[in-house]
Amino acid sequence: MEGAGAGSSRASGGKAVGVPFVAKASLVLTRSFDAPRALVFRAWTDPTDLAQWWGPHGFQTTIHEMTVKPGGRWHYSMRGPDGHDYPFDGVYIEVVEPERLVFDGNINGSPEQRVWTEVSFAERGGKTEITVRQLYSFESAATRGAPIGWSQQLDRLEEFVTRGKGKLR
């Protein structure tokens, strides 16, 4: 399934990092938040905000670099409850404030573990609905467990944006 997802990005033409993307696994999920779209988008694009909620329960995230613009780099590491670090190195492909983010990257520094992510932000009846679509160039226990990790991560985002932790500046 060459180019799946990667070809759907208007900015990439299917070759985000010069290599066609071949998807072997995928994930699509939608969640609604009782918070303004600008606040939810900011939680995804401000490194200080993102570090407070990114990752499943029990994980801590350190943002090393985050330049939210097309071609901008994104490098972070998540530390699991077991003390293991999970690095991510990526690039923003598309940034349309406050509607859409697309980024392409590698997990654990491995080009073989490539992840393509598209996030849309929509206003729905005074709430913000996000849809996350993720494509993986590999299939593993990590990709099969992704829905659980994302569910926990979005629980943390919900707490961040609805319980007064996130603020529009």
**pLDDT band with cut points at 50, 70 and 90 for residue 19:** low
The answer to whether 129 touches 31, Cβ cutoff 8 Å, is yes
| Residue 167: per-residue pLDDT | 55
Tens-place pLDDT, residues 34-56: 999 999 999 999 999 999 999 99
Average pLDDT over residues 18-33: 87
- Closest by CA to 16, choosing from 33, 34, 3, is 3
CA distance 87 to 17: 18
- Closest by CA to 120, choosing from 96, 137, 154, is 96
| Residue 140: per-residue pLDDT | 87
CA distance 66 to 77: 12
- Closest by CA to 80, choosing from 115, 41, 47, 108, is 108
| Residue 165: per-residue pLDDT | 59
Average pLDDT, the chain: 87
All domains of the chain in start order, with CATH: 6-162 (3.30.530.20)
